[in-house]
Structure 1
Amino acid sequence: MLPQPNSNPPTPTIESYGQGESGIPMEEMQPIMEWLFASLLNAGYYGTAHLIWFNDAAPNPKLEKAVKTGIKRDEPTLLYRCASQVQPPPNGYYWRLMAEHPSSRIYQLEVKDED
């Protein structure tokens, strides 16, 4: 007997970091996560993405490691700015504002162009 084909289409996975320190209630996080999930699907991305909930009023050193994990794996790394500032990006990178989201608080980590 042949194995049955997997009927579930591939879907993206979002690894989320810093929710506890974010100060954002779970009911506000849900629509943000849904928007991000839909954006990944629309872009044809079905792998893992990393979402950092960054609150500069309650910094968490583990979030820097999460950013580096996304870089090492060459996976999309995004940041939701919960307060007034974004986390400093690693050398050679910058946070690009994702203007498509109405909150103007979601950023994607991008490689800086070398001039």
Structure 2
Amino acid sequence: MDNYPYEEGNSGEPCFSYEIPGGLLPKDVIEITGHFLGDKITIEVLSEKQAGNNESTAMPLQLTLTDRGKWSVIAYTEKVTRQMITGNAPATDEFQIRIVAFETAFEVSSIICK
């Protein structure tokens, strides 16, 4: 993790960021596997949509998973400003998350708690 810049994400939480070289193509899958060091993990997918001052401001997807198994996904698209779904998974120390990229949006295809 030393290679990733440490910063504060849109959620206000400390985070590490990783730029995907060459960007994503439709149907590419982002797979994140890890274990909890705290009580939750927040994953934010940022797009390259630019604001007037050349800042990347679009956050099409935000996923939060707690060590107690509660999860929430907030999706933002140009057509729907904010769409939120929540759910429960078994409480665990380890997790695996798969996010699929599409032409204009992202979809969480699975949340697996081990």
Give the helix-richer structure, 1 or 2.
1
TM range (shorter): under 0.3
User: Which structure would you say has the larger Rg?
Assistant: 1
Query: What is the TM-score normalised by the length of structure 1?
Result: 0.27
Give the strand-richer structure, 1 or 2.
2
